[in-house]
Amino acid sequence: MTTVSSPLAGRAIGLAAVPDPVFSGAMVGPGTAIDPVREPSEAVAPVDGVIVSLHPHAFVVVDDSGHGVLTHLGIDTVQLNGEGFELLVNKGDTVVRGQGVVRWDPAAVEAAGKSPVCPIVALEATAEALTELREDGEVTAGESLFLWK
């Protein structure tokens, strides 16, 4: 069982509320989403593991059991070409839960006309594999979002 923690402080809103059909339809995988606090912050690793994919706007950490967790910082933020995002680790690095991965500013993303809502997705998982899924309420970085069987 893997506990997936929130990489950000904010409000859990669930994937269905994400303003993007690929995420809201869980086509990438099941999970939840965070509407982040509008202040510069670090998105942190949601699990202990290895950074297998790293972009300014998104990263994937794979844990010891092979579970890959995608953190996507905002919607359509790839169009910002990395502006306003600072990578704190490198692809291939081993990280621990709560370690900073990307520094960013959700308010600047919003000011650039993009949604700062952040999907946190269990890659290659079934909805049935996730339990204790947080889809509402305030969350702090490091607080449990879901358990992955």
Residue 97's nearest CA partner among 51, 34, 32 is 51
Q: Is 72 a catalytic residue?
A: yes
From 55, 57, 67, 72, active-site residue: 72
Structure tokens at 6: 């929130």
Residue 124 CB neighbours (<10 A): 11
* Cα–Cα distance for residue pair 62/95, rounded to 1 Å: 10
Rounded Cα gap, residues 25 and 130, in angstroms: 16
SS3 of 17-79: the string is HCCCHHHHCCCCCCEEEEEECCCCEEEECCCCEEEEEEECCEEEEECCCCCEEEEECCECHHH
Which residues are annotated as catalytic?
72
